[in-house]
Chains A and B, each alone.
Chain A
């Protein structure tokens, strides 16, 4: 094949794609497609990924599993990964990530499930608990590397899975995977050796406790330890000593821990002390809180580090005035207009961090939120899509 032909073919293809994109935009094709698909109640979408709730299962008094049927082609996922869930709450689209509690699924799978604990004051978890069968929610792109093994390589034979509270959601997905792949004859000798520590506050809020107990009975290679921090008979809250007593060969196991920060610290530290820190993988549900910068007596904000994600740089926002003025003093040139909060020209996405609105005094830590730079001041370190 001669090179000029291949180059021409590629150029034509690229030009064709650009033309199609322009036609879609200027002739409103995708807007119409989206609208009519939704009017017909379909979960198909050209621009977004959506799923229909097909079943609702109450696991505990405050935890519920939602079984979802993805509208588009499910890209596939590995047990332990999460999916962002998008829901409209009182007019606002909010997005939160939830671990997928069903096992690994191939591309094109028809069902996945998430298990959601209703958090007091949590807008998304409360709204998810109000969903009924047939309702539709938005899905983002699956992600996460909290998985048992890389896609092509085998799963380690000796495992320690530590689940605390709602942290059991990715862990149960992993165990369901292992159970589905285990030989039917539970008594046959098997190389796999999995210890599961299931920690919770009380028996009433131990999610999936029945399923875990029955799996432990069925499969010899699965050993289950239940720890209830309010029940001394089970050993109470898990600490390093208790952990080493339950799992003497901790250093030989690939360890996966998901749960509250305290639990993650206990397990990680115990492994580090035995020289096996590199064999521990963890998943946090609560991001470490950004360092809050208090204002001074005049109400001005203390300097904050602002990460500009698009350019990959970092600046320090300091001195008087809103973020717009501070960024300009730091040498940046963000788009702006009226500079008094009216025209929205300076609107940009705050990916992470806390800002205060100078017009209303409202303070917000909502991730992925659009802010107007001319009327916002930083109350913590920030990440901006600038």
Chain B
């Protein structure tokens, strides 16, 4: 939510804005050290213990209590691994440590999406062309209408259902994102090219499905149906949570999209302004920040994608102060408020915009 729109800045003002943010970035980078590595290792330790604990409860337990506890622990583990560990490590936030376990180029995450695809479509395309219509394929993920600047099509009427389905199957949406399925439907991409792009995804998905629905259940023997169902639920929990956090990142009321013509000759300050005005934060406690992989600080993440995310809450007051001085809106709100505004947006844009 924003209370009033951002001021339009002159080139000189935008430049000064950029330089202040650059200086903030340098201060943080110079301060990185043992505590940042210790943090991510603590999270990784939490991921391992909750995964092991969750699976033990599912495999060896009987009855509904151990099932619920097991699914909760496993779901929490998957959420942390996906968001605080996987997404942040693959951004290169910990490359400076030279620890091979934290290397962005080799990290493999526990969802069906291929890391190389993700690094290309997210790190490069989404973070460079954030919210530019026609360039950032995260704007509505090519099938949802999230801005009235996007042309309305009759299929958009179904988009509330489409969004709900995407939420339940979100890891598959992420996996297919760089495969450009939509372009094959519209004829812009050949089937041969689709097969080539999809090959790593099919490979990864095959191993993931085997792990969750063949191997682990087989190891559980009598508890096989319980384990398979528990894995399905844990994956579903992770899917819905990541969907909710990510959709609150760029679609709440006040976050703007850009036309390509508006971003010609973008200076560094203008780039920062687009990152700021296209993103939205979620206010909350430490648990929310960690479980969201610090995407509760989507603004700070988009300004500084390769700074360790645990630093975002520390620098948020300084970012906010700089924004105030330059008349820029700082979009933040509670989880309920931001998610509610996203739901309203999806419903509103499902209908054609009145002329």
Check A28–B108 contact: CB distance below 8 A: yes
The residue of chain A having its C-beta at the shortest distance from the C-beta of B204 within the complex is A26
Check B95–A93 contact: CB distance below 8 A: no
B99 near A: Cβ within 8 Å?
yes
A209 near B: Cβ within 8 Å?
no
Stretch at the interface among B33-41, B58-66, B144-152: B33-41
Given A345-B123, A345-B124, CB of A370 within 8 Å of CB of B108: no
The residue of chain B having its C-beta at the shortest distance from the C-beta of A370 within the complex is B95
B104 near A: Cβ within 8 Å?
yes
How long is the Cα–Cα vector from A47 to B44 in the complex, in angstroms? 18
Stretch at the interface among A29-37, A141-149, A306-314: A29-37
Check B128–A31 contact: CB distance below 8 A: no
- From residue 271 to 318 of chain B, which have CB atoms closer than 8 A to chain A? 271, 305-306
Expressed in whole angstroms, the minimum distance between the Cβ of B123 and any Cβ of chain A is 4
A92 near B: Cβ within 8 Å?
yes
How long is the Cα–Cα vector from A25 to B110 in the complex, in angstroms? 10
Check A340–B128 contact: CB distance below 8 A: yes
Check A88–B37 contact: CB distance below 8 A: yes
Check B26–A91 contact: CB distance below 8 A: no
How many residues on B have C-beta within 8 angstroms of the other chain's C-beta atoms? 41
Check A91–B207 contact: CB distance below 8 A: no
Count A/B pairs, Cβ under 8 Å: 90
- From residue 203 to 248 of chain B, which have CB atoms closer than 8 A to chain A? 204, 207-208, 211, 215
Expressed in whole angstroms, the minimum distance between the Cβ of A36 and any Cβ of chain B is 8
Looking at the complex, which one of B38, B128, B268, B271 makes contact with A337 (CB distance below 8 Å)?
B128
Looking at the complex, which one of B45, B101, B105 makes contact with A31 (CB distance below 8 Å)?
B101
Check A344–B306 contact: CB distance below 8 A: yes
- 0/1 per residue, B20-53, Cβ < 8 Å to A? 0010001001001111111000001100100000
Given A23-B207, A26-B211, A347-B92, CB of A91 within 8 Å of CB of B124: no
Check A347–B127 contact: CB distance below 8 A: no
- From residue 92 to 150 of chain B, which have CB atoms closer than 8 A to chain A? 92, 95-101, 104-105, 108, 110, 119-120, 123-124, 127-128
How long is the Cα–Cα vector from A25 to B124 in the complex, in angstroms? 24
How long is the Cα–Cα vector from A368 to B268 in the complex, in angstroms? 30
In the bound complex, residues from chain B placing their C-beta under 8 Å from that of A342 are 123, 127-128, 305-306
A214 near B: Cβ within 8 Å?
no
Check B29–A22 contact: CB distance below 8 A: no
In the bound complex, residues from chain B placing their C-beta under 8 Å from that of A359 are 22, 26
- 0/1 per residue, A40-79, Cβ < 8 Å to B? 0000000110000000000000000000000000000000
How long is the Cα–Cα vector from A22 to B104 in the complex, in angstroms? 19
The residue of chain B having its C-beta at the shortest distance from the C-beta of A86 within the complex is B98
Check A28–B110 contact: CB distance below 8 A: yes
Q: Is the interface of B mostly helix, strand, loop or mixed?
A: helix
Looking at the complex, which one of B48, B97, B101, B105 makes contact with A92 (CB distance below 8 Å)?
B97
Check A90–B110 contact: CB distance below 8 A: no
Expressed in whole angstroms, the minimum distance between the Cβ of B56 and any Cβ of chain A is 14
Check A35–B48 contact: CB distance below 8 A: yes
Given A25-B108, A26-B211, A359-B22, CB of A90 within 8 Å of CB of B124: no
The residue of chain B having its C-beta at the shortest distance from the C-beta of A48 within the complex is B100
B91 near A: Cβ within 8 Å?
yes
In the bound complex, residues from chain B placing their C-beta under 8 Å from that of A91 are 32-38, 96-97
The residue of chain A having its C-beta at the shortest distance from the C-beta of B108 within the complex is A25
Check A344–B128 contact: CB distance below 8 A: no
The residue of chain A having its C-beta at the shortest distance from the C-beta of B207 within the complex is A26
How long is the Cα–Cα vector from A368 to B95 in the complex, in angstroms? 13
A232 near B: Cβ within 8 Å?
no
Check A47–B92 contact: CB distance below 8 A: no
In the bound complex, residues from chain A placing their C-beta under 8 Å from that of B45 are 35, 39
In the bound complex, residues from chain A placing their C-beta under 8 Å from that of B96 are 91-92
Check B97–A344 contact: CB distance below 8 A: no
Check B44–A35 contact: CB distance below 8 A: yes
Expressed in whole angstroms, the minimum distance between the Cβ of B121 and any Cβ of chain A is 11
The residue of chain B having its C-beta at the shortest distance from the C-beta of A346 within the complex is B124
Check A340–B207 contact: CB distance below 8 A: no
28 A-B pairs with C-beta separation under 8 A: A26-B108, A28-B110, A31-B101, A35-B45, A48-B100, A88-B34, A88-B97, A90-B33, A91-B35, A91-B96, A92-B96, A92-B97, A92-B98, A93-B98, A337-B124, A338-B128, A340-B128, A340-B268, A343-B128, A344-B91, A344-B95, A344-B104, A344-B123, A344-B306, A345-B119, A359-B22, A359-B26, A370-B98
| Chain B interface (Cβ < 8 Å from any Cβ of A) | 22, 26, 29, 32-38, 44-45, 48, 91-92, 95-101, 104-105, 108, 110, 119-120, 123-124, 127-128, 204, 207-208, 211, 215, 268, 271, 305-306
In order of increasing CB-CB distance, the 8 nearest A-B pairs are A337-B124, A26-B207, A344-B92, A93-B98, A91-B37, A338-B128, A343-B123, A90-B33
Question: Given A47-B100, A88-B37, list of 14 further CB < 8 A pairs?
Answer: A27-B207, A48-B100, A91-B35, A91-B36, A93-B97, A94-B98, A337-B123, A342-B305, A345-B120, A345-B123, A345-B124, A359-B22, A370-B95, A370-B98
| Chain A interface (Cβ < 8 Å from any Cβ of B) | 22-23, 25-28, 31-32, 34-36, 39, 47-48, 88, 90-94, 337-338, 340, 342-345, 347, 359-360, 368-370
